[in-house]
Structures are given as C-alpha cells and as structure tokens.
Structure 1
Amino acid sequence: MDDQVLRSLMKWPNVPDCFGWLALDRRGQWRMRDEFTQQNQLPGQVIQHAALNDFIARNYACDELGRYFFQNGPQRVFITLTATPWIVRIIPNEHGFALLTQCNSAIAPDSALSDENGNIYIVGKVDQTIYDSSNNGGGAKPFLKKESQTIALLHDHDLDHFSELAKLREEACSFGGSWSWYEKQLPLDPIHSQELAARFHYQTSPQP
C-alpha cells in the first residue's frame, strides 16, 4: 500500500466508506459505477487511465469480513466483484509462464476448479494486504501484508491454453481431472459457482 495513502489515513481517520461505485469485472477490469449504473444494474464504465488502474491495484486490500476494497487516500471504496477477488492470466516470462492477477501479483497454484458454466478457477497463494479492525491503533497498523490462500477466475482468453495443460474427466455438472504446472500434476475438481464465495470467504456485493 502506498505511503501517501497510509499518511492520509493518519491525518483523516474517519472518512466515510464508499459502497457500490467501483467494480471488478470478470476480465480483470476496474469499472466505475455511478448512481444510474447501480440503479439499473449496469456493468459500469471501464477505467482506461493507466495510472489510476495502477493506483487501485497497489492499494487493493480486504478486511476480515471478506470485503475487498480500494484504499483511496483516507476513503475506503468497497468493490463489487463480478466473479472472484482476483482475475488471473497465463503470461509468458523468461521461465515459461506465470499466473498473474489483475494487480500484477503472482499466484502460486495448488489446484483448480471448474464450474457448471465452464469457468476455470485457480486456487493458490497470493501476497495480499489484509485489514484487521482488531488492530486499529491508527495509521498503517491495521494493514498486514501476508501470503493468503485465495481463488482467481482464469481469464476466458486463457481457457484454450489451460485445456492444453489439463487431463479431463467428465463429472455430473462439470469437469474434473488434473493439470500440469511446472512438471507438477495439480488437481482439477468440479464446483458449483454458488459455493465459491462462502468457501473462499469473500463478498461479491459488500455492504456497510
């Protein structure tokens, strides 16, 4: 999290939280959602400004209730999640490929899940910022950076690549099997999409 953000929290600690105005879509894009957009359940406008996207990504965090937010200076902007808290891409690098989230952070995979709609989710560990209200001594103290188990929706542009890594078997409502990642065989298990939020402790529509 940016130092300037932490300093602003110390200076203005009681700025009201904001809900509903920012969303993360299933392609890892941040979207602004004004009152008209919210009232009509529209997806919102994609944020195109590169510096703003980077600022949001650097100051992306979650609290102990599983609510993800962008710490915009002293104000906490809670994020509506179209899918999961993280969207992941398979990106080429000097070692072959990496799994990178919308915040350009790496996810170390343990397994994958497949739902009834053909979506693939990567389960693994990500370094993320956690807000703990029980440690609210002011300033940066409530924020902890730690490696946490989480879930990330695989971008649909990478489904074909994933299928090349996978050995599939048909299940009742989806697919199971295994997939290969850096010479390791990792499990691929079926799941119903409605189970994801509770199992991985996140809220898709945070409320006050």
Structure 2
Amino acid sequence: MDEWVLNALKRWPNVPALFGWLGLDRRGRWLVQGEAISHPRIIDVINRNYAADEHGRWYFQNGPQRGYMQLESTPLILFVADDNEHLITHTGLAVAQLHAAYIDEEGSLVLTTEHGPGELRGTDLQWALDRLSIDGNPVDDDALATALGLPSQSRTDITLTVGSSQLALQRLDFAGAPSALSFDRAPAPREGEKVSTRAMD
C-alpha cells in the first residue's frame, strides 16, 4: 500500500466501504461502473493499492475508503512477460512461485501464485499449450478434450512446465473456482458492515 493510503487509514479508520462500482475483467482491465479505466496514473494507483481481505474479497484501497472489486474471473490476470519465459500479474508483479494449475470446462487456465490466483490472459493460452505434456510428450487435441471432459476437481494426466515448475494440471469448473481457491467474485456487505453509496473523490 502507498504511504498516503496508510496515513489516511490511520486518520479515518471507519469510512464505509463501496460495493458494486469497481470491477476487473478477463483482460486485466479495471472497470468503474462497467467502463474500462484508461488513465495511466489511475491504473497505477489501483495496481499499487489492490489487496484482499480475510474473506477473500479483493478491493482497491482508495485512501481511507475500500472499494470492493467485482471479478469477471479471478482476482489476478496473468500475462506472459517480455522474455516469453515468465509470467506477470496485470498489476505488474513478477510471478516467482507457481503452486497449482487448473483448467476449466472452456479451456481457460488458472494458476495459483504467491500473489493469489490468476487466470492466464486468453491471448497467451498458446504459450501455455506449448508447455503442456503427458509423460514428456506434447499434448494433442484428443488428450486435451479428455482432460476437459473430466469432473471438476479431478486430476488430469497433463503436466504444465513453466521454468523449473512442473505442475499437475487439475480440472476445475469456472463456477467452482471461487470456493476452491478462496476468493469472492461478487463481494457483498457482511452483517453489520457499513456501506457507502458513492465513491470518495
């Protein structure tokens, strides 16, 4: 978090939270009331002050006010870095640790990282497909179709290799990802929580 944000939280610790205004789409774009934010400075501020609470609700800490994010997919969107070897989050953080890999019924790939769970951007899926194997052999369309047809939360025969990480690919339905990976796609106020109807300037 930025120092000015931490200072604002100390000065005004009980500002009501904002729900339903902010979002993150599957391309890694921040949204406000459904419209993509394009101003680079605003994007940078959100990137630096984005976090999760103890209930798996991700938010932007805008000074003393917390604005909870509606997630189209996962809390993070992962991109292939310029070196074509590593991954970065949509907030610009380098991914150094990959813990698990999941594929949903549509073929989207979700990885759990030290920063949280993230879906690989759709335009980078070929990069991941080139790194899938079964017993050291490339994965063909039939093997991939078999994996996609497995029940959710079952292990496939496929391995994803990224750098020194070798991850057993697991099937996980899109709808089941939040509960399995401990995040909330549509944060809502909890009992007794103060709520604001407008964003702070």
Same topology, TM > 0.5: yes
Match of 1:144 in 2: none
1:65-100, Cα deviation, whole Å (9 max, x unpaired): 11110000010000000100110011123xx52211
1:164 paired with 2:154, answer no
Structure 1 letter corresponding to 2:10? M
Q: Determine the C-alpha separation between the residues in 2 that align with 1:172 and 1:206.
A: 29
Match of 1:181 in 2: 162
Structure 1: 5+ residue stretches without partners: 34-43, 127-149
1:100-120, Cα deviation, whole Å (9 max, x unpaired): 111111222123111101111
Deviation at 1:23, TM superposition (A): 0.1
Deviation at 1:172, TM superposition (A): 5.7
Aligned equivalent of 1:78, options 46, 60, 68: 68
Structure with more of its chain in strand, by fraction: 1
RMSD over aligned Cα atoms: 1.5
Q: Determine the C-alpha separation between the residues in 2 that align with 1:172 and 1:55.
A: 38
Deviation at 1:154, TM superposition (A): 0.4
Match of 1:66 in 2: 56
1:205 paired with 2:186, answer yes
Q: Determine the C-alpha separation between the residues in 1 that align with 2:157 and 2:79.
A: 21
Match of 2:118 in 1: 152
Q: TM-score, normalised by structure 1?
A: 0.78
Aligned equivalent of 1:104, options 86, 92, 97: 92
Structure 2 letter corresponding to 1:98? H
Q: Structure 1 residue runs of 4+, over 3 Å off?
A: none
Q: Secondary structure at the match of 1:23?
A: strand
Q: TM-score, normalised by structure 2?
A: 0.81
1:13-51, Cα deviation, whole Å (9 max, x unpaired): 221110010000011100011xxxxxxxxxx11100001
- Are the aligned partners of 1:115 and 1:173 in contact in 2 as well (CA < 8 Å)? no
- Are the aligned partners of 1:26 and 1:83 in contact in 2 as well (CA < 8 Å)? yes
Structure 1 letter corresponding to 2:49? N
- Taking only the aligned residue pairs, the percentage that are identical comes to 34
Q: Determine the C-alpha separation between the residues in 1 that align with 2:119 and 2:148.
A: 21
Q: Secondary structure at the match of 1:18?
A: strand
Of stretches 107-116 and 158-167 in structure 1, the one that deviates more from structure 2 is: 107-116
How many residues are matched? Answer: 173
Q: Determine the C-alpha separation between the residues in 2 that align with 1:49 and 1:206.
A: 25
Structure 2: 5+ residue stretches without partners: 134-138, 151-155, 190-201
